[in-house]
């Protein structure tokens, strides 16, 4: 099934992120994959693991509202774009992000995860997000809400959630590229 153009853009961004993650991990030793620029920073492997965990949390929160909407016949009425507030949040995450936000405990990366496991987990979650796009492309994603899994009391549209996933990936892949560059320079 072909996707509407707004969802195809998100799909393409997921493909780009996966390609970038694979390139980032290519030829990277475990030593470089776990190197941190500081004790409070994340390594390349941790960035990838964080993205996989975060995507899983978002999709878990977004599935029930989509299933309920399917039962209610709430079909697509408009493009899957974030609303005004959601759009502001999405733009605030775009790299290079000026605002640093501490990740909640439930999406902290696992320590010392092998790079191959972190990359595989990230790619598996990419497939899950793409499957979500295809499964629910006919729903009114811009009109359906879910409870943000990290900020109590905040609700976003499913469209905003999908845009957050995409921009969050760009943010942390950008971070991971900087970490890899610094690791390669430091460990020469």
Total tally of structural domains belonging to the chain? 1
Average pLDDT over residues 141-151: 95
Average pLDDT over residues 153-178: 97
Contact present, 176 and 48 (Cβ < 8 Å) = yes
pLDDT of residue 1: 67
Model confidence at 186: pLDDT above 80: yes
Rounded Cα gap, residues 129 and 165, in angstroms: 9
pLDDT tens digits along 55-104: 999 999 999 999 999 999 999 999 999 988 899 989 988 898 777 778 88
Q: Would you say the pTM of this structure is higher than 0.75?
A: yes
Print the domain residue range for 136.
Answer: 5-186
* DSSP-derived secondary structure for 93-126: HSSSPSS--PPPGGGPPPTT--HHHHHHHHHHHH
CATH number for the domain spanning 130: value is 1.20.120.450
Among candidate residues 17, 158, 15, the one with its CA nearest the CA of residue 80: 158
Q: With pLDDT > 70 as the criterion, what percentage of the chain qualifies?
A: 99
Mean pLDDT over each residue of the chain, to the nearest integer = 95
Among candidate residues 153, 7, 142, 163, the one with its CA nearest the CA of residue 74: 142
Is the model more confident about 139 or about 40? Answer: 139
């Amino acid at each position: 099934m072909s996707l509407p153009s707004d969802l195809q853009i998100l799909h393409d961004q997921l493909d780009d992120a996966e390609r970038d993650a694979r390139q980032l991990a290519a030829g990277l030793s475990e030593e470089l994959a776990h190197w941190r620029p500081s004790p409070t920073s994340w390594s390349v492997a941790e960035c990838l693991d964080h993205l996989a965990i975060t995507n899983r949390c978002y999709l878990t929160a977004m599935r029930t509202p989509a299933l309920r909407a399917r039962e209610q016949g709430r079909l697509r009425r408009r493009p899957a774009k974030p609303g005004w507030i959601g759009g502001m949040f999405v733009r605030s995450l775009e790299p290079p992000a000026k605002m640093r936000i501490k990740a909640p405990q439930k999406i902290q990366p696992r320590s010392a995860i092998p790079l191959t496991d972190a990359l595989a987990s990230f790619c598996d979650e990419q497939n899950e997000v793409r499957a979500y796009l295809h499964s629910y492309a006919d729903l009114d994603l811009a009109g359906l809400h879910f409870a943000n899994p990290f900020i109590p009391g905040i609700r976003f549209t499913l469209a905003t959630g999908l845009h957050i996933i995409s921009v969050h990936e760009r943010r942390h892949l950008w971070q991971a590229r900087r970490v890899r560059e610094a690791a390669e320079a430091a460990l020469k």
